[in-house]
Structure 1
């Protein structure tokens, strides 16, 4: 699957970044951690990797295409595809999907990525601060809004594995310049935090406004009171402006719940035939039967269903019995004396 050059490049990058498999996979985009460690073990033993030919797959192209077609025909359920066909494994099936259908194989829900992105100049400045020894790595990470491990990775990228940077201590008169640089870094980090806070407040404001427009909710509504289905409608309405991993934490909705609700919305209505029967019974009885009588008629026809389901379907279809309300007695019979002429016409002067 991977060429000799790709494998050598991955192993060397793995050694350079301090034997961090997760960081190597995230940067290169391949392979998985187990393959990478297997390649490194082979490289450490023989100081090289094999250049053999690619293994021939035991599955034919027709079998691959049938498995991918079955996968898309059954709502992209890899487990169901493997159980129905008897082959292959789920990771291999996903690999076939990416090879044969690279565009369709992409999932809508993507994994979360880091929001903190520092420029090359900021990384160099952070490494210089760590080499001076005046600040700890944890303090430098707090200034730049990253984790301490990120600062360590920057050191390994810029200085290399096991190397140190010898810096000449500046004279006493240059300490004021060093203090100004540190204060500048702190102010820039503070500005970034304030920008992030403003961005989050704007996000919450847009969610509340969209809740009023789409869900007809009043202003000042508590987002915790929304159902998962309503939250999905809000997320889909704001996806063109915000990312999914930004909307989910604000609405307190997990990614798995979001994907489940999306599939439920796309799925067919299992009460479609029952809805039509309830409408016909309601119209045939002059629109005067409530859900209890409709439920009795359904039972007579041999349809076993709960009264709650009948009531919910009638509410969704707006099948409401029209009943005339009696007016209460009122002795007021209107004005019995003629109206007085408006002589002043509001001219009180």
Structure 2
């Protein structure tokens, strides 16, 4: 069945191409000529097409009554009626019996199909459906099943949507006579397509069996890719499936060379030269109550005069799954307890400011890269989100926040005493921070303990910064100094050039210049 968009596209092309059905079918690949003309008449008659297409009944009343009569007179057996008349499906016959004979109950309960076919027979039926050598009804009759069963097998083997993509045979028009060469070419193409489809189905079956056997033999989790298996694991899977498939087929699916396979076979059958070492490693690991890693295990073996490298110890422990249980490191947290009395929350989640330097927000965020850790401490103005001042360092100490605060105070004009809001981190409760705030006449404000929404604007700034600058690239070969330079450049770009939709497409500095607040 074609959707509304498909039908209206075909009709419009039909009108555009001066009612040339051949041109439309050649471009779209559908529908039949008679169907296209029917859509066009409906389009003219109703000044458009119906959103929903209602199919006319396939069987008339006489056929319906004949099927129900045969069913009632021949033992109320649906399979016998379908084989005798060639129609309808089991579900449709049951519906007709319920409609015409409501007092009768089905004699045969629904217990599945009475015709049991093997998987190979189902695949052969689907292959015949795809090649279109016969119509669906002829295929169903030969296998003694309904048309619905053929389509259901096709959906199971080929996936949803594949059946509708099979080209339909044109029953309304007589085919044009073809030459012997054309017919032979068509036969060769169809044979090739059938062979390719059969090979693809076979390969998919092999891949499915390989994945299932990998989960069974080597205990791989579901969703593992064949490329992630080691050669030893691939060899185990091949050995488990050698009695079902040829070695060449399995090597091709697993993308493994023949020489690598026989090398692994020889290695697995050879005696383990590290058998004694494995036993000593396990003994040392057990004696340490599963606390020793490979370095300490290596030291224990060395004390026992066992000569073996650290890499071998690490590999053997990995193979024997001797791992040390460790606790994941906690993320950076500046809270060190209530070291000084906390101040009230003066902001109270009202982050709106009518002028610059009325409400400031501050916090510290951490960047962990392979070269080390870097910390950023900015002050954000609630008026337009401008980073008033910031410091970048490799240690979240008092100097990091104090230098930032000194730089922000120098930017204040006479008579400006903003509220400085922060979390309850220790940096904002040490004497250096408190004395600077008091000397400058600034008002302290703190969030509740563990309540990040109280400082959500600053947290949002960190989120945008990391999404735009940090998470989008790899920092594998970047040094600490290079990262600090990149981060500082981003902060300048954020303040001077990065546009904000809330500021009318201007950056914070450009917005202030437009208002005449800065030069």
Q: Given the two structures, how large is their TM-score scaled by the length of structure 2?
A: 0.26
- Which structure has the greater CA radius of gyration? 2
Q: Per chain length, whose mean CA-contact separation is higher, i.e. which structure has more relative contact order (CA < 8 Å, sep 6+)?
A: 1
Q: Given the two structures, how large is their TM-score scaled by the length of structure 1?
A: 0.37
- Which structure features the higher share of helix residues? 1
- Which structure features the higher share of strand residues? 2
